C-alpha cells in the first residue's frame, strides 16, 4: 500500500469537507424546463461542484441554485482554485444560450438573465475567500459573455450594497401592467459604470450582480390581498430603510392571482429573525384589515447545506 498516496487522499478529502464556498445563483427563468435542464447539465459535468438546493417560483419566473464546492490555497494561505469558478462559467454559458431576457416576464424584479450571484463562506472558509471567488466570477462573465457586471458587498472595493446598486439601475420599478417586469426597459448605455464588462447592455442578456457576504436568510410572508400598493407600503415599513426592523430588506410583490407577499432578506438572521418579521407584517396588515399567512423560508440553513454537500459528494465518483 502507498501510504503517501493514502495520506494525500485523506488530506484532499478533509479539505473538500472543511473549506467550502457556496454560490447562490439567481436566474431569470423557471417556466422553461428545457432551459433549466441545460443549465443543470452544464453544472453536472464537474462532479466536484454540487447543486445542493434549488428553489423556483413560477409566479416570479425565477430560480435560485445553491452550488457548493471546496477552495484550495497556496503555501501562503491565499485561495488559488475552486471548481465553482469553472462550473459557474459553464452555467452562465448555458443560461445565456437558452434564455432571452427580452422575452422574459414575471412578478419579480430582475436586470439580467443571470440576475445575481451571491458567494458565501461555509464551514472553515472566510469571507475573503468568497470575495476572491466573486471577483473572479465577475471578471469571467464580463469578459467572456460581454455582460456588464457590478460587484457588491465584500467583493466591492468600498463594500457598496446590492440594494444601492439596484436602485441606481431602476431594479425596483415595474415596467409592465403596473406590477410586473418584462424585457429590458433600462437605457442601453448604463448610468453607472460596471466593474467588469462593457458599459453597453445586450438586451437579450442584461446585466449581472456578483457579490460576497455572510449568510443571509430569505423569508417571504403572503398577504391575502391583491392590493399591490398596500403590499409595497407594508414592505417599506417592515424594512430598515423605512424605519422598521434593522438588517431587514424587503419588497412587496404580486404573487399569483389572489395574493401579494413581502419578500425579505434577513441580513443578520441571528439578530433579527423571521419571527419578528412575521409579527411586524401581521401587525401592519391588521391595521388596514388584511389577513396574513404564515411565512416560509426559500432557502435552507447553512449547516444543512454543508451536510447535503457531504452526502452528495460522498455518493459521487471518488
Active-site amino acid positions = 108
Helices (H), 146-261: 162-168, 228-238
Report how far residue 165's alpha carbon sits from residue 150's, in angstroms, rounded to the nearest whole number: 8
Quote the cell numbers at residue 276.
419578528
In 3D space, the residue among 192, 220, 185, 188 whose CA is nearest the CA of residue 201 turns out to be: 188
Report how far residue 188's alpha carbon sits from residue 157's, in angstroms, rounded to the nearest whole number: 25
- Phi, psi at residue 100, to the nearest 5°? -115, 115
DSSP conformation letters of 231-288: HHHHHHHHSTTTTSSTTEEEEEEEETTTEEEEEEEESSTTTS-HHHHHHHHHHHHHHT
CB 192 within 8 A of CB 168: yes
CB 134 within 8 A of CB 117: yes
CB 201 within 8 A of CB 101: no
Amino acid at each position: 500500500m502507498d501510504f503517501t498516496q493514502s495520506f494525500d487522499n485523506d488530506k484532499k478529502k478533509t479539505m473538500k469537507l472543511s473549506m467550502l464556498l457556496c454560490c447562490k445563483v439567481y436566474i431569470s427563468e423557471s417556466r422553461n424546463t428545457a432551459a433549466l435542464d441545460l443549465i443543470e447539465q452544464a453544472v453536472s459535468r464537474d462532479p466536484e461542484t454540487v447543486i445542493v438546493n434549488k428553489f423556483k417560483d413560477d409566479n416570479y419566473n425565477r430560480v435560485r441554485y445553491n452550488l457548493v464546492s471546496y477552495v484550495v490555497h497556496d503555501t501562503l494561505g491565499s485561495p488559488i482554485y475552486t471548481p465553482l469558478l469553472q462550473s459557474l462559467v459553464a452555467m452562465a454559458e448555458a443560461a445565456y444560450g437558452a434564455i432571452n431576457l427580452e422575452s422574459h416576464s414575471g412578478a419579480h424584479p430582475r436586470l439580467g438573465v443571470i440576475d445575481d450571484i451571491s458567494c458565501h463562506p461555509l464551514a472553515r472558509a472566510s469571507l475573503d475567500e468568497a470575495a476572491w471567488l466573486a471577483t473572479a466570477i465577475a471578471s469571467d462573465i464580463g469578459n467572456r459573455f460581454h455582460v456588464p457586471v457590478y460587484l457588491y458587498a465584500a467583493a466591492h472595493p468600498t463594500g457598496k450594497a446590492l440594494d444601492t446598486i439596484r436602485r441606481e439601475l431602476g431594479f425596483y420599478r415595474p415596467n409592465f401592467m403596473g406590477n410586473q417586469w418584462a424585457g429590458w426597459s433600462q437605457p442601453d448605455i448604463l448610468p453607472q459604470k460596471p466593474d467588469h464588462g462593457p458599459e453597453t447592455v445586450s438586451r437579450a442578456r442584461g446585466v449581472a450582480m456578483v457579490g460576497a457576504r455572510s449568510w443571509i436568510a430569505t423569508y417571504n410572508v403572503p398577504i391575502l390581498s391583491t392590493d399591490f400598493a398596500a403590499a409595497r407600503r407594508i414592505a417599506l415599513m417592515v424594512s430598515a430603510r423605512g424605519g422598521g426592523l434593522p438588517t431587514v430588506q424587503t419588497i412587496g410583490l404580486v404573487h399569483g392571482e389572489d395574493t401579494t407577499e413581502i419578500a425579505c432578506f434577513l441580513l443578520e438572521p441571528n439578530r433579527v429573525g423571521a419571527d419578528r418579521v412575521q409579527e411586524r407584517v401581521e401587525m401592519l396588515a391588521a391595521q388596514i384589515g388584511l389577513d396574513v399567512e404564515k411565512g416560509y423560508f426559500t432557502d435552507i440553513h447553512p449547516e444543512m447545506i454543508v451536510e447535503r454537500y457531504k452526502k452528495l459528494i460522498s455518493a459521487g465518483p471518488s
